[in-house]
């Protein structure tokens, strides 16, 4: 039965778990809610905010049930806080809830309003505890095969490892899933050095928080569980004085001691090995006899892409255009 008052679903990311790391909007959303729905562990993390509220606790595999209950309550005119740890849009309840909503015929013009309240994801929380491992390109991959076929996960792991991303592994291991982390390690060792730095953070910013530094070679031997996030460094990541750091790339352009630009580089301009410089070198190598297939192998890129670049005219060295393109970018 529909209520005359407008209901609302607030998909609240509560961050890593400690109240100090919840956003003001997340705190306010839970306080203004009539109903709070969440996984049992997450409900415990916000217990001090729940006095006088209807609380619905659900198990780990009952995400769709949570979303359906939230919709029912909102249809009855209630404000519902559907909570996720970290960010609701990162392996959280935002996706499943929208799926349930659309299946029920909901649209953004519906009487039930939906608000996503962002929070700090595990990748952010764990990175902050171990140093600065995400300063360059990174990605996250879940090892849970409860909903995703393993070949799809394995292809993503292999691609990320080959592309030299810093990688955060979510849901790395559980009582029933003990071999996924071993398989992930094997795939990474095809592309990365055995001494690649790895950080394992369990229960970030919670009472039983633990942090362990190790290497790719020994990663699978460590104490890893469902509350762990595993951060695998790239080929430049290092650990020093208990801190894991991934350089941004300033050493490619600058003398880090004096601050001057290196020979062939210009402040505020793309690297000499950026797109324009690389394209010029590619054309030069091709003119000297290197085939598209050889160049593809040399640069570990698809031959069709290399051929397409060779088929295009060389870019002009237009200083004004280059300055416009790089305006606002970090040097």
Residue 2 in this model has a pLDDT that exceeds 70: no
70-95 per-position pLDDT tens digit: 999 999 999 999 999 999 999 999 99
Cα(34)–Cα(44) distance, integer angstroms: 17
Q: What's the average model confidence in pLDDT over 248-274?
A: 89
pLDDT of residue 5: 67
Residue 76, Cβ density class (10 Å: 0-12 exposed, 13-18 middle, ≥19 buried): middle
Residue-level length of the chain: 331
212-223 per-position pLDDT tens digit: 999 999 999 999
In terms of pTM, does the model score above 0.75?
Answer: yes
**Neighbouring-strand partners of residue 238:** 245
Q: What's the average model confidence in pLDDT over 150-168?
A: 98
183-214 per-position pLDDT tens digit: 999 999 999 999 999 999 999 999 899 999 99
- Mean predicted lDDT score pLDDT of the chain: 92
pLDDT of residue 159: 97
Q: Residue 321: what are its φ and ψ, rounded to 5°?
A: -65, -40
Q: Residue 7: what are its φ and ψ, rounded to 5°?
A: -85, 170
Residue 263 in this model has a pLDDT that exceeds 50: yes
């Amino acid at each position: 039965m529909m209520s005359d008052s407008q209901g609302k679903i607030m998909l609240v990311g509560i961050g890593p778990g400690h109240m100090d790391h919840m956003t003001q909007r997340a705190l306010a959303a839970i306080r203004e809610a009539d109903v709070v729905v969440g996984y049992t562990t997450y409900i415990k993390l916000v217990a001090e905010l729940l006095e006088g509220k209807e609380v619905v606790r659900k198990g780990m595999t009952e995400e769709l049930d949570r979303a359906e209950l939230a919709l029912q309550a909102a249809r009855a005119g209630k404000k519902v806080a559907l909570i996720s740890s970290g960010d609701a849009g990162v392996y959280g309840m935002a996706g499943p809830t929208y799926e349930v909503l659309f299946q029920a015929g909901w649209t953004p013009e519906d009487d039930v309003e939906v608000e996503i309240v962002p929070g700090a994801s595990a990748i952010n929380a764990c990175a902050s505890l171990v140093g600065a491992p995400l300063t360059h390109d990174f990605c996250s991959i879940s090892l849970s095969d409860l909903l995703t076929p393993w070949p799809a996960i394995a292809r993503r792991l292999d691609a990320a490892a080959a592309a030299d991303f810093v990688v955060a592994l979510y849901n790395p291991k559980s009582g029933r899933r003990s071999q996924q982390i071993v398989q992930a390690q094997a795939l990474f060792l095809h592309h990365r050095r055995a001494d690649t730095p790895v950080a394992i953070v369990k229960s970030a910013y919670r009472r039983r928080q633990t942090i362990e530094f190790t290497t790719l070679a020994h990663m699978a031997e460590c104490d890893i569980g469902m509350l762990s996030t595993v951060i695998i460094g790239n080929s430049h990541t290092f650990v020093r004085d208990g801190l894991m750091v991934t350089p941004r790339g300033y050493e490619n352009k600058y003398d880090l001691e004096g601050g001057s630009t290196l020979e062939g580089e210009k402040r505020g301009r793309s690297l000499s090995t950026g797109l324009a410089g690389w394209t010029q070198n590619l054309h030069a190598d091709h003119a000297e006899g290197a085939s598209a297939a050889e160049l593809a192998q040399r640069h570990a890129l698809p031959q069709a892409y290399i051929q397409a670049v060779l088929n295009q005219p060389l870019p002009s060295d237009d200083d004004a255009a280059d300055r416009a393109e790089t305006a606002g970018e970090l040097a």
